[in-house]
Structure formats: C-alpha cells, structure tokens
Amino acid sequence: MLDRTLLPNAISLDKFTHLLSRYGPLIEKISTAKGTKPGQKTLLELDHFRYNDAVSLFHSEEPKQQMKLGDVKVLVDWKLRHGKFRPTLMKLVTSNEEASAEQTIQEAMKVYWADHNTSKALDMITKLKGIGPATASLLLSVHDPNRVIFFSDEAFYWLCRDGQKSPIKYNAKEYAELSTAAQALVGRLGVDATHIEKVAYVLMKDEPSEDASTKEETKEEKNKSPINQKPVKRKGADATEVIHDNTSQQAPLRHSDPIPLPDRFAKIKRNLIAGNEKAVADSFYRLLYQLRKEVDRIAAVGSVIIPTIDYFDINDSVKVAAFQDALKKRGIAVIRRVVPPNVALSWKEETREYLRHNPRPKGIPAHDPQLYEMFWSPGQVRARADSRVLEVQRFAMSAWHSSKGDALVSSNHSVAYADRIRMRKPGDKSLASGPHVDGGSVERWEPDGYGRAGTYAKIFEGKWEEYDPWDSSARLSVTWDLYNRAGSSSMFRMFQGWVALSPIAPDTGSLRACPMLRLATAYLLLRPFFSPRRKHGSHSDFLHESNWSLNVAQNTIVHGAVPGCIQELSDALHPHLRLSRSMIPIPRVEPGDYVLWHPDMVHAADAAHTGRTDASVLYIPACPLSLTNALHLARQRRSFLLGLPAPDFESGRGESEFMGRPGTQDVSDAGGEEGLRSMGLLPWDDDRGALEAERELLRLANGILFPDQFDITLGKSARRL
C-alpha cells in the first residue's frame, strides 16, 4: 500500500521529481532483464521512441510528418512490452489498411487541435481495428504530451484507485476519470501528463528507495562521484574543456573545500561589494528563494523547457515573440531545419573525404581523434558561409541590444569564427565535460576582466533582478582571457553553438544545459561571498536561506575559478543550483538543426556516447561585427588563405599542404557576397539606412580589413583613389 504522502492529492513536487528521476534507470533495468530477440528493438529503444522520437515528430498542430501505420505499430510494440502483453493485439493493428489508418488519425488530430476535445478524437481513432481507448490515448499522447495522458494500468491504479490494483474495463468512462485526475495534478504541480505516466510507473513497478538527500553513501559510491575524480585538461571547442573520467552527470551534494587563490582576490571581493553589503546579502536570499522554485520547475518539465523554433517560422512575428521571450529567459535554444538534412550530411561527408586524402590532423583523444584541430575542410567553409546559417545567426543575435546608442557593435552583420568539427563515436567517454562556463573564470570578478565593462555591476550592487545578460554594450571592452589560456576565444560571441551533422539524442554525445541564465549567473557570481552557518543537517536545511550568511571578512576563494582555466561548477561548490536536477539534456536534434547558447550559459557534454551512430557537429558560434571581431577577422582571413590553424588555436603548418582545401571562390560559391563579407574577404557596403554608430562601425571595420582601400582617418567612408 502506498504511503499517504505519495498519493496524487498529497505528493509534493520534490517527491514527484525524485520519482521521475528513477524512471530512466528502472526502464533500463527492465529492458536488460527482458532482453530481445534478433532484429527486435529493446524496451529501452522503444521507450526512447515513445517519449522522444515520436514526440519530436508528432508533437504539434503542424507535425513534422503525419503518423503512419508503421509508427502506430512501434508504439503498440512499446505498449505491449511496457505493460501487459496481449498476443493478438499486434496482429489486429497490422490488419488495418495503411492509407485509411493514416487518414483516420490525421482527421482525429484535426478535431483534437480544434478545441482539445479528447473524447471526440479518441472516438475517431478507436474505429481502427485493434485500437481501443487505451491505445488511442497513446497515439493522442505523443501528439500532445503536455495535456494527454496514456491510459496505462499504472496511471489508472495510482490516480484513480490510490495505488490499489483492481479490474480495469478500459472504456471511455474510465479514461475520462483518469484524464480528469491527471489534469488536476498537472495544474497543481505544473508538470506534464507524460511525467505523471512515468511517476505512476515507478510507484507501481519499482521498489521504494531512500531519498537521495538522506541516503548514506558507501565508500565505493563516493569514489565513483565525479566530484572526486581528478579533472584532465584538454583543449576544447571554446577553449580548454575539463574532461572528467566519469559516466554520470548526477553528482550528489558534497562539502569539499575549494581552491584558495592569491591574497589579492580577497581585496577584489571586498571592493566589489563595498558599501552594498546589506543589499548584496538581501539580494542573495531573494535569489535562493527563486532558485528553489526554478530548479523544481526545470526538473519537472525537462528538455521541453528549452525553446525551439523552425527556420521557416523565423519571420512569423507571433512565433518569434514567444520564442525570443523564452530564449532570453533560458539562454539556450534549438532552431530546427536551418539547412536541409541532406546538405548537413553532405558537409560531414565532404569533411570525411578531406580527411581520407590528407594527413590526419591533431585531435582529441590523441590516439583516436574525434574532435579535430581542423578548420578549413570544404564542409566547414561551406557551412560558415551558408546564407541560411548567417540569416539564423542574425535572427538569434537580434535578442541582444545595446544600452548605449554609440556602441560600436552590430548584430545585423554576422562575422564567421573558425572553430573545429567533432565526430564523436559510440561508446566514447573522452569528450565528456562537466558543468562549466566558457569565457574565462576569475576574470568575471577581476577589475581588468569583466570589470572593465561593468558587465555584472548590478549583481554586485545587490540588484541582480536588474542585471541584463543581453546588453552588448556591457561586453565590448571585456578582457575574458587575462592569463593567455590555450584555445580561449578572442572574439565576442553573442552565442556559442553548433550545427548538427547527424541525429543526436540525449545521452548520445549531446549537450546538457542549466536553462536559467540570469539566476545561474547571479548565483555563480555571488556564491564566493557567502558561507553556510552549519554544514551538517538535512539537505533542505543546509540549502535554506537562513543557513547562509555574508562573510564578515572576505577570503581568497572564488568557487570553481582558477586563473587560466574555464569556470567549473559542481554540486559541492554551487549547491543551490542543484546541478544534478537543473542540468538537463537538450532535445533530440536532426542533421541541419542549429543549437545556440549564451556565452554565460552553464553547460556540459554528455559523459558518454551511448548511441549506435556518430554524433557529429560543426562548432559555429554567432558573432556580431565589432572592432575586436574585425581585428580577429583580419588574422583569421590570413589563416584561411594560407591554410594555417585558426588564430585561437595551436600554431604550426595546419592544413597549408592539404589537398582539396577551399579558397575564396569556394566561399563565394557557398554564400555569395554575404559569405565573403562574413569571412573578411569583401568590404561591407556603407548602409545609409543604418544608425550613425553602425555606419561608423562599418567604416572602421573596412579600414581594419582593407587598409589599402579605405582611409579610416577621414571623417566618413572614402575609398582611396
């Protein structure tokens, strides 16, 4: 019998999300125990189709494709393997005529999306052979997983019978009872219907387990924790990635000691909050309260919280407005179908062909490179110059603005940044990275780093709610690399990002992120000023605002920051972020999808690639035109023309002697004049419709890139005769 606190009308969001986190391991355990016949999908694979692939395909009033009979059969296979097996059901479903089945489902969905009338849609779907209300609810659920719950035995027992197993008739009346109960829980906890299915399954199928926050940890478990693993420094896509030899992103809370820094950091910390100590303390307590709510929301909702938009909708003002609101809050987004899948796949194949005909470049890991120190392959050059990629970069960068009208920065002019290509192999663990933020570490607190631009001034004044992560004016004079770190980006990137060159699902070499940009940034910056009064006690008591106080005398500790390294985060050093819950995988992406994230975003790479095919991406950040970026572009242009490594990476001959290396004409063929300008190979036009600051920027940038053609000493643009 279920504990009363686990019943639907009493369960808390904390307990709900804890149970939800147990679903994945439970399915994996059941899948392994059941095994498969040759050529048969495992339960784990079917479960991924049901909750990820099918939702990605059909979750919309305008789905990527219409559901076919083959899709129905896969979902029925999942239903039979996930719950009770009924030997005749699949035969009945298979006997449906394909075109008729597709039309029936399509018409039912039109009826459903008209007014979300579940019963009407189910009535229509149940006209198909072998499809009763339970299976019909499954087909409907993958079209609208937020509202529609699948009529599973486990969900019915939990929501309608308080966990007691009793006979089920599987009729429309019982489903209406189940749906009503599910909607009550959706409204109370702010979760999705599919999350309720999973929690019900755990409650009815799994053995009860002790809460993670009170479980006594064994010595063996402690040794396996990523917090206790020694990091190995690698040269990474930003920058230097920190790669952990662990297989889990889920680190339990620790109270380990951070690394003390030189004495001058105590003075830096004192000066940052001098005169604002009370305001900073009060703001930290407000922050902790908001973090508690937001982490619970993220953990409950999962990947769907990350905004997505289709390339073909970026001119739809209604969809764009909603997308940009979500992007500004979350700091990360996926833009679908930026390039056709066949084009993205051709870029990967061109790169492979380039590798086959030339000496193997350096890469990570050294013995079997998967992240290549290669910048000028045909696929990479074509992708950077592609008009659709450049258009999406300008679209995404429009989320930024300048609080200073005379700021010399333009998101209307995208500048190419040469980064690398990754083709991560199944089973790989070498390219894992724990939670981190690129763009420096201690520089965020140093007056000669981000302090030069006052980037985070509002946070250090105790007004984090007024901090604007999207103000480009507060980034232009930043020095984000004070310690000459290998691989550090010397360009102002409004977004880091990559274009997918293969299908990539969560846990198969993908990306994880903590999608609460302003809150996470404010916490990261304020954490070094506070200490817990008591380090022992319950998890919730330790994290509560009343347990934290502003340090009377500031010490030299800046949690997770070491000069010359990236900014690392962990549950030990940043406990209120609850990274084991707030770091979520991005949704599944397909070839040609573009993933973009804010430069202050806390992100990580999957600890292991558990898929069966490569996870390949082109690293292509979105960079605006600025004077710093124009200077970098001049150096990068030389590297391109000579085939040398990109300016931020190791020196050497690079690809200078490679066969098939693209040239200026290839850039022109791929992106025309726009592509040439983004690579610094053609001057920008004097845009008479632009603001005065933007026209001045274009004039100065042309002078930097083409000094023989443009005289930047004149008061206006002028070509030398």
Residue range 64-115, pLDDT digits in tens: 889 999 999 999 999 998 987 777 788 899 999 999 999 999 999 999 998 8
Question: Whole-prediction pTM value?
Answer: 0.68
- Do residue 657 and residue 692 come from a single domain? no
Closest CA to 158 of 375, 387, 1: 1
- Do residue 57 and residue 161 come from a single domain? yes
Within-domain flag for 490: yes
- Do residue 323 and residue 356 come from a single domain? no
Both tokens of residue 682? 């053609």
Confidence of residue 689 (pLDDT cuts 50, 70, 90): low
Cβ contacts of residue 644 below 8 Å, gap of 6+? Answer: 638, 651, 652, 653, 654, 655, 656
Is 251 in contact with 225 (CB distance < 8 Å)?
A: yes
Peptide bond into 365 cis (omega under 30): yes
For residues 586-614, average pLDDT: 95
| Boundary-marking domain end, from 575, 598, 618 | 618
What does 436-456 look like in DSSP terms, one character per residue? EE-S-SGGGT-TTTGGGTTTT
What does 44-59 look like in DSSP terms, one character per residue? HHHHHIIIIIHHHHH-
For residue 479, is pLDDT > 60?
yes
For residues 306-325, average pLDDT: 95
CATH number at residue 504: 2.60.120.330
In the chain, the largest separation of any two C-alpha atoms, in whole Å, equals 91
| Boundary-marking domain end, from 618, 640, 655 | 618
Would you call 83 exposed, middle or buried from its count of C-beta atoms within 10 A (0-12, 13-18, 19+)?
middle
Confidence of residue 487 (pLDDT cuts 50, 70, 90): low
Amino acid at site 184: A
| Boundary-marking domain end, from 568, 588, 618 | 618
Closest CA to 202 of 166, 142, 148, 158: 158
Is 703 in contact with 695 (CB distance < 8 Å)?
A: no
Q: Own/partner pairs for 666-672, CB < 8 Å, 24+ apart? A: 666/378, 666/381, 666/382, 667/381, 667/385, 670/381, 670/382, 670/385, 670/386, 671/382, 671/384, 671/385, 671/386, 671/387, 671/390, 672/387
Within-domain flag for 159: yes
Kindly state the DSSP code that residue 113 receives in the 8-state scheme: H
Within-domain flag for 248: no
Is the C-alpha dihedral spanning 217, 220, 224, 230 positive or negative?
positive
User: pLDDT tens digits, residue range 175-206?
Assistant: 999 999 999 898 888 788 999 999 999 999 87
Within-domain flag for 332: yes
Residue 43 in 3-state DSSP?
helix
- Do residue 455 and residue 587 come from a single domain? yes
% of the chain residues with pLDDT over 70: 91
Map 312-330 to HEC letters: HHCCCHHHHHHHHHHHHHH
Confidence of residue 617 (pLDDT cuts 50, 70, 90): very high
Position with higher pLDDT, 560 vs 241: 560
**Which pLDDT value is given to residue 22?**
87
β-bridge mates for residue 309, sequence order: 335
For residue 718, is pLDDT > 90?
no
Residue 400 in 3-state DSSP?
coil
Question: CA torsion angle for 687, 690, 695, 697 (degrees, to 10)?
Answer: -110
Is 592 in contact with 378 (CB distance < 8 Å)?
A: no
Confidence of residue 688 (pLDDT cuts 50, 70, 90): low
For residue 458, the enclosing domain spans: 257-311+318-339+421-618
Would you call 281 exposed, middle or buried from its count of C-beta atoms within 10 A (0-12, 13-18, 19+)?
middle
- Do residue 562 and residue 707 come from a single domain? no
- Do residue 41 and residue 180 come from a single domain? yes
610 HSE (CA, 13 A, CB side): 12
What is d(CA 615, CA 424) in angstroms, rounded to the nearest whole number?
5
Confidence of residue 227 (pLDDT cuts 50, 70, 90): very low
- Do residue 609 and residue 658 come from a single domain? no
**Which pLDDT value is given to residue 191?**
81
Is the C-alpha dihedral spanning 234, 237, 243, 247 positive or negative?
negative
What is d(CA 351, CA 347) in angstroms, rounded to the nearest whole number?
6
What does 603-655 look like in DSSP terms, one character per residue? EEE-SSB-SSS-EEEEE--BEEEEHHHHHHHHHHHHHHHHTPPPTTS--S-TT
Within-domain flag for 46: yes
Within-domain flag for 236: no
For residues 14-39, average pLDDT: 84
Is 102 in contact with 66 (CB distance < 8 Å)?
A: yes
- Do residue 495 and residue 381 come from a single domain? no
Residue 559 in 3-state DSSP?
coil
Within-domain flag for 243: no
- Do residue 36 and residue 166 come from a single domain? yes
- Do residue 574 and residue 591 come from a single domain? yes
Confidence of residue 713 (pLDDT cuts 50, 70, 90): low
What is d(CA 130, CA 134) in angstroms, rounded to the nearest whole number?
11
- Do residue 354 and residue 485 come from a single domain? no
For residues 374-378, average pLDDT: 96
Is 92 in contact with 129 (CB distance < 8 Å)?
A: yes
The dihedrals phi and psi of 163, each to the nearest 5 degrees, come to: 85, 0
Poorest-pLDDT segment among 366-370, 395-399, 649-653: 649-653
For residue 269, is pLDDT > 60?
yes
**Which pLDDT value is given to residue 3?**
85
For residue 239, is pLDDT > 50?
no
- Say which residue the tokens 């149940």 belong to: 126
Confidence of residue 347 (pLDDT cuts 50, 70, 90): very high
**Which pLDDT value is given to residue 410?**
95
Is 260 in contact with 254 (CB distance < 8 Å)?
A: no
- Do residue 568 and residue 658 come from a single domain? no
User: pLDDT tens digits, residue range 201-216?
Assistant: 999 987 554 333 333 3
Is 237 in contact with 371 (CB distance < 8 Å)?
A: yes
What is d(CA 75, CA 73) in angstroms, rounded to the nearest whole number?
5
- Say which residue the tokens 């558990």 belong to: 610
Within-domain flag for 677: yes
What is d(CA 359, CA 306) in angstroms, rounded to the nearest whole number?
40
Closest CA to 181 of 341, 62, 11: 11
Number of structural domains (the chain) is 4
Would you call 391 exposed, middle or buried from its count of C-beta atoms within 10 A (0-12, 13-18, 19+)?
middle
